[in-house]
């Protein structure tokens, strides 16, 4: 077997073992640990003890040693170019080379007579290179960025199925790429997550490696060292600290918040509890607080016991963000109690008890993965923050923010539901250290405002695109760059485009910005009008060529769709019976995608009546709202520190060694009530003459922030157009991905529901609902269609990339017709009519043209009684606060039981919507269903349909809050291809331009 055939065997084996396909999205490292080496040896059929040497021999045999640095990897370069021209459809052919690069980084941890930071000496040994020959190190610098970049791109293209890329260099431009993979082994990478929790780093944080060095030093040097002996030894040597810190920074950037125990493969046995803040504007302003529970095996929903409730009770939790459970839909916490009281829960499943103690200042950070505002123990420079502050501290907080925060923050006007005695600061971005404004030598309620790090380089704002690969934003609303650094002489921020359109990776300098000595750069990227592509942002201290930190930015849109996600997305269609709601059915007699009906639905019977011309329900529908009573939590006495600001500390006992010396450098004091922590030195430190105080008094320059542009709140400039185009980029996926898109327009669950139902009724997306709960489970973008409306116009529905849209618009105009765009939520595009040119282009581009789509959809609608019969049933056993839907008033009314037919809302800690028919009463069951549907089912059983039709204005009306679900709403909306509108005067939601034929048909199925 020749050298290249043997190399390809190793390359394929590495792809299969290290980059194996998996449904679990996880960071992947090209790190040849013992278990992976054993698997590789088995595939290659060599002894495990000889596998690493065999790999090195094979890779060494493929190198050209004859003509200097340019030729060393020449044959690998040629094979890589061929792979790129082939579309990158197979694993990269440079995995074997990269494995050797990683092996050299791993060997930096060994005591082999070389300096711990001597990477190239180890690389020479791995590749059997001549000592003192610099051509290998020069050749490595020529290819390292390109090779690792191609691996990253391939992983991104695979959309997480083979792992999330981790080969990034945050400081050391070339060597840092290989060091990020193997200097810190997998066991220690898991232990680093404990380090992130101890110091309060938020998942996914971008931190300069230099800022981690002092924190890692205090953590590793504990009496009971938390890391492996080899990493501790390497750290104590001192020479490789910057490399270890860089590996830790990469691990933090790829961390999603979950913690896995290496020995069991399950989440670790520790837990934590963080509050979340929701400020809503839809349909009205509201303030609410919820919580995230980080516990082992958080992918499993369950109940926990709330120990500090009055009385103690069980709460239902469901999987939420990675590594955490959240409150079940409809659940709520009383803000007054949770801010002032002790929040303690016990998870019997894992044996973990979680506790959160009250604080006078609660900082919430916008999490870029979930778009939620999550409580943090310590802020970081440049983060988007909201601060909830006890009124007694508010003036001092405002004074400090005037110095440390970017302009644009404000003490917000109190929201409905905001507890009295608390002030909310919004639009906060801290860019300065507070220095003496928050003394570090005493316990201070505002210590959370002392940033964890001294510098930052991050991208934030804009419209983020969810997915397994981080750093993706929509090109129409890109983020802004935020950089803070105390480098002597200042710094510049560079923006570089990575062009992979040719065989060679080309780096194009786009722009750069100097801090002008101010120590801060804030630069919105929207003005550059950057095209879709990959970019790198670098912070370079003055006088240096290599960056001290960097970040990746991926700009995408519907024109550059996520091919992997499109391939993986479930194909969703609607069907007969309960399939009209999006529940999967076994029959293939009929299916509906977008507005296209396939198959032959049963001919509808002749209608039995016509809808009334005016609504029968009260015009106050939608304005009468009875909020669920949230769970109460016990609160501390009036003399607690939350009320008085006076802390009572408990200080840890200092452990001594055999000679009576402290075993740790620091000891911690904690407030008995709020848990606020203060650390004290265990050794008396002599202060040198002229020196600053030793403990916690590090001096940072105060940057002038007055000239900066004001902070932009996270929801500004985010509209439906960009959100819908983001969905076109994604193509479909789990329900959580759609939620993350919608939450960027309006961060409330109510808006997510309205956003999804609107797009579903317009036929832009299809929604798969769970067969047992009818809750949304997945979504998919609809096919590209031109939908014929009852007005004679044709609407653009489903997937429309810009190029195809422009081509069809040109054809419509060539046919002497017009195109219009109407509305904003969302904008709808129409052609007045379609001529021969348009039909020709549509045929050529496989665009479905569907005249009078509403008629076929209406014919496919099942009677409402069929839906009632096919709903999922369960034993009627739930208890709590029960409301019954009064069809006459179209309102919920409090009742003592659910022993009559109709629709019910059952509230305890979550809200359960059910209906009960006469058969359910006999069998002791009820059926779960969405609340809007439950109202129409109650109306069916009561013989009082909740619908009206105005033939003069062609408006089909239902009560606010009783919008028609699934295909029922889509059939009515297809008449105009405009979303239904609220008519406040009649308390109705009106579907527009509905012909009488359609109104009669829909009314008939609602009553049949």
Q: Is 996 inside any structural domain?
A: yes
Q: Is 25 inside any structural domain?
A: yes
Same-domain check for residues 978 and 881: yes
Same-domain check for residues 159 and 15: yes
Same-domain check for residues 894 and 775: no
Q: Which residues contact 69 (CB under 8 A, 6 or more apart)?
A: 135, 136, 138, 139, 142
Average pLDDT across the chain, whole number: 87
The whole-number pLDDT of residue 253 equals: 83
Checking if the pLDDT of 630 tops 80, the result is: no
Task: Give the distance between the most distant pair of CA atoms in the chain.
Answer: 99
CA distance 556 to 918: 53
- Provide the CATH number for the domain around residue 748: 1.10.10
Which residue in 645, 647, 665, 668 sits closest to 657, CA to CA?
665
Lowest mean pLDDT among 216-230, 275-289, 316-330, 684-698: 684-698
Same-domain check for residues 772 and 868: no
Same-domain check for residues 44 and 179: yes
Would strands 385-390 and 732-734 be described as parallel, antiparallel, or unpaired? unpaired
Domain boundary among 183, 199, 222: 183
- Provide the CATH number for the domain around residue 504: 2.60.40
Same-domain check for residues 764 and 892: no
Tally of structural domains, the chain: 4
Q: Is 48 inside any structural domain?
A: yes
Band the pLDDT of 687: cuts 50, 70, 90: very low
Model confidence pLDDT, tens digit, residues 881-924: 899 999 988 899 999 999 999 999 998 767 889 999 999 999 99
CA distance 446 to 393: 9
Percent helix / strand / coil, the chain, rounded to 5: 30, 25, 45
Same-domain check for residues 163 and 35: yes
Q: Is 150 inside any structural domain?
A: yes
The whole-number pLDDT of residue 692 equals: 45
Higher local confidence (pLDDT), 50 or 198: 50
The whole-number pLDDT of residue 224 equals: 80
Domain boundary among 183, 207, 226: 183
Same-domain check for residues 44 and 160: yes
The whole-number pLDDT of residue 875 equals: 93
Checking if the pLDDT of 674 tops 90, the result is: no
Q: Is 980 inside any structural domain?
A: yes
Checking if the pLDDT of 402 tops 70, the result is: yes
Predicted structure pTM score: 0.83
Higher local confidence (pLDDT), 937 or 660: 937
The whole-number pLDDT of residue 202 equals: 80
Lowest mean pLDDT among 183-192, 514-523, 988-997: 183-192
Model confidence pLDDT, tens digit, residues 358-399: 999 999 999 877 778 999 988 999 999 999 999 999 999 999
Highest mean pLDDT among 439-453, 628-642, 817-831: 817-831
Higher local confidence (pLDDT), 586 or 787: 787
Lowest mean pLDDT among 186-195, 491-500, 967-976: 186-195
Q: Which residues contact 601 (CB under 8 A, 6 or more apart)?
A: 576, 590, 859, 860
Same-domain check for residues 749 and 874: no
Q: Is 373 inside any structural domain?
A: no
Model confidence pLDDT, tens digit, residues 335-366: 988 898 889 999 988 889 999 989 999 999 99
Name 597's bridge partners. 592
Same-domain check for residues 49 and 173: yes
Same-domain check for residues 871 and 760: no
Domain carrying residue 115 = 3-183
Average pLDDT of span 502-527: 89
Backbone angles phi, psi at 246, to 5 degrees: -65, -40
Confirm if 916 and 926 have CB atoms less than 8 A apart: yes
Band the pLDDT of 977: cuts 50, 70, 90: very high
Model confidence pLDDT, tens digit, residues 550-596: 888 999 999 999 887 888 888 999 999 999 999 998 877 889 999 99
Same-domain check for residues 885 and 775: no
Band the pLDDT of 453: cuts 50, 70, 90: confident
Lowest mean pLDDT among 168-172, 174-178, 283-287, 555-559: 168-172
Q: Directed axis angle between helix 119-126 and helix 95-106, to 10°?
A: 130
The runs of H, that is alpha helices, within 815-878 are 836-844, 853-859, 864-870
Domain boundary among 734, 757, 780: 780
Q: In which element (H, E) is residue 933 found?
A: helix 931-942
> Which sign does the torsion angle of CA 656, 658, 660, 662 carry?
negative
Q: Is 931 inside any structural domain?
A: yes
The whole-number pLDDT of residue 693 equals: 46
Q: How open is the CA angle 848-852-854, to the nearest 5 degrees?
A: 100
Average pLDDT of span 771-776: 92
Band the pLDDT of 695: cuts 50, 70, 90: very low
Q: Is 119 inside any structural domain?
A: yes
């Amino acid at each position: 077997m020749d050298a290249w055939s043997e190399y390809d065997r190793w390359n394929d084996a590495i792809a299969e073992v290290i980059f194996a396909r998996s449904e679990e999205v996880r960071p992947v490292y090209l790190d040849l640990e013992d278990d992976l080496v054993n698997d590789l040896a088995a595939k290659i059929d060599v002894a495990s003890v000889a596998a690493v040497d065999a790999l090195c021999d094979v890779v060494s045999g493929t190198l050209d040693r004859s003509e200097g640095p340019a030729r060393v990897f020449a044959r690998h370069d040629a094979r890589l170019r061929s792979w790129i021209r082939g579309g990158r459809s197979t694993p990269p052919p440079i995995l074997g080379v990269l494995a050797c690069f990683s092996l050299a980084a791993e060997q930096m941890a060994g005591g082999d007579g070389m300096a711990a930071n001597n990477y190239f000496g180890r690389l020479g040994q791995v590749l059997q290179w001549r000592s003192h020959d610099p051509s290998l190190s020069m050749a490595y610098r020529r290819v390292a960025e390109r090779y690792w970049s191609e691996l990253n791109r391939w992983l991104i293209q695979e959309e997480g199925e083979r792992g999330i890329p981790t080969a990034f260099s945050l400081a050391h431009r070339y060597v840092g790429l290989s060091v990020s993979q193997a200097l810190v082994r997998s066991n220690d990478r898991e232990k680093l997550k404990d380090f992130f929790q101890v110091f309060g780093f938020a998942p996914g944080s971008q931190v300069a490696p230099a800022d981690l060095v002092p924190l890692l030093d205090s953590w590793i040097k504990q009496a009971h060292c938390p890391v492996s002996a080899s990493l501790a030894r390497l750290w104590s040597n001192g020479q490789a600290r910057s490399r270890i810190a860089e590996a830790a920074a990469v691990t933090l950037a790829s961390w999603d918040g979950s913690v896995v125990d290496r020995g069991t493969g399950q989440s670790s046995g520790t837990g934590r509890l963080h509050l979340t803040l929701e400020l809503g504007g839809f349909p009205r302003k509201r303030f609410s607080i919820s919580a995230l529970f980080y516990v082992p095996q958080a992918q499993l929903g369950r109940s926990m016991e709330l120990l500090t409730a009055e009385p103690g009770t069980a709460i239902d939790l469901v999987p939420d963000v990675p590594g955490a459970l959240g409150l079940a839909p409809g659940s709520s916490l009383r803000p007054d109690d949770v801010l002032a009281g002790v929040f303690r829960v016990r998870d019997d499943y894992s044996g973990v008890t979680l506790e959160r103690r009250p604080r006078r200042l609660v900082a919430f950070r916008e999490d870029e993965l979930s778009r939620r505002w999550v409580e943090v123990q310590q802020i970081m420079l440049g983060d988007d923050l909201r601060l909830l502050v006890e009124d007694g501290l508010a003036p001092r907080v405002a004074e400090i923010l005037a110095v440390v925060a970017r302009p644009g923050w404000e003490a917000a006007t109190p929201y409905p539901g905001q507890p009295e005695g608390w002030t909310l600061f919004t639009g906060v971005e801290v860019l300065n250290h507070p220095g003496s404004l928050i003394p570090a030598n005493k316990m201070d309620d505002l210590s959370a405002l002392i940033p964890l790090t001294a510098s930052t380089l991050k991208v934030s704002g804009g419209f983020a695109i969810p997915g397994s690969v981080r750093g993706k934003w929509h090109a129409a609303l890109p983020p802004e760059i935020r950089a803070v650094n105390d480098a002597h002489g200042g710094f510049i921020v560079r923006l570089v485009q990575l062009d992979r359109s040719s065989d060679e990776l080309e780096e194009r300098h786009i722009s750069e910005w100097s801090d002008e000595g101010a120590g801060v750069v804030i630069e919105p990227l929207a003005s550059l009008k950057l095209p879709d592509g990959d970019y790198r942002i670098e912070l370079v201290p003055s006088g240096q060529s290599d960056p001290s930190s960097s970040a990746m930015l991926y700009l995408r849109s519907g024109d550059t769709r996520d091919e992997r996600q499109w391939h993986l997305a479930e194909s969703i269609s609607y069907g007969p019976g309960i399939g009209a709601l999006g529940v999967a059915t076994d029959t293939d007699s009929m299916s509906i995608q977008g507005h296209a009906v396939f198959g032959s639905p049963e001919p509808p019977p002749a209608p039995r009546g016509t809808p009334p011309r005016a609504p029968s329900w009260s015009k106050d529908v939608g304005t009468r709202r009875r909020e669920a009573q949230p769970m109460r939590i016990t609160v501390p006495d009036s003399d607690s520190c939350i009320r008085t600001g006076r802390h009572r500390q408990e200080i840890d006992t200092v452990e001594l060694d055999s000679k009576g010396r402290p075993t740790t450098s620091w000891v911690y004091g904690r407030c008995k009530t709020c848990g606020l922590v203060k650390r004290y030195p265990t050794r008396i430190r002599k202060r040198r003459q002229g020196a600053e105080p030793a403990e916690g008094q590090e001096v940072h320059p105060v940057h002038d922030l007055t000239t900066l542009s004001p902070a932009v709140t996270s929801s500004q400039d985010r509209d439906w157009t960009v959100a819908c185009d983001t969905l076109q980029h994604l193509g479909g996926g789990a329900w959580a991905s759609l939620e993350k898109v919608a939450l960027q327009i309006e961060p409330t669950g109510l808006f997510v529901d309205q956003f999804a139902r609107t797009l579903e009724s317009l036929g832009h997306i299809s929604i798969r609902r769970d067969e047992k709960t009818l809750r949304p489970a997945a979504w998919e973008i609809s096919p590209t269609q031109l939908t014929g409306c009852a007005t004679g116009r044709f609407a653009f529905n489903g997937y429309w990339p810009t190029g195809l849209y422009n081509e069809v618009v040109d054809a419509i105009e060539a046919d002497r017709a017009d195109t219009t765009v109407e509305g904003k939520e969302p904008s709808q595009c129409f052609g007045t009519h379609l001529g021969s040119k348009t039909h020709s282009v549509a045929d050529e581009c496989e665009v479905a043209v569907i005249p009078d789509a509403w008629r076929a959809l209406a014919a496919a609608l099942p009677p409402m009684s069929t839906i009632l019969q096919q709903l999922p049933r369960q034993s009627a056993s739930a208890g709590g606060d029960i409301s019954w839907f009064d069809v006459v008033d179209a309102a919920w009314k409090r009742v003592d039981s659910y022993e009559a037919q109709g629709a019910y809302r059952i509230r305890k800690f979550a809200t359960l919507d059910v209906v009960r028919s006469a058969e359910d009463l006999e069998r002791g069951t009820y059926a779960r269903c969405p609340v809007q549907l439950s109202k129409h089912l109650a109306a069916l059983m009561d013989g009082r349909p909740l619908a009206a039709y105005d033939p003069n204005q062609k408006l089909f009306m239902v009560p606010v809050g009783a919008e028609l679900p699934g295909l029922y709403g889509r059939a009515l909306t297809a008449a105009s291809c405009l979303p239904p509108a609220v008519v406040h005067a009649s308390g109705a939601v009106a579907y527009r331009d509905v012909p009488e034929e359609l109104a009669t048909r829909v009314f008939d199925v609602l009553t049949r």
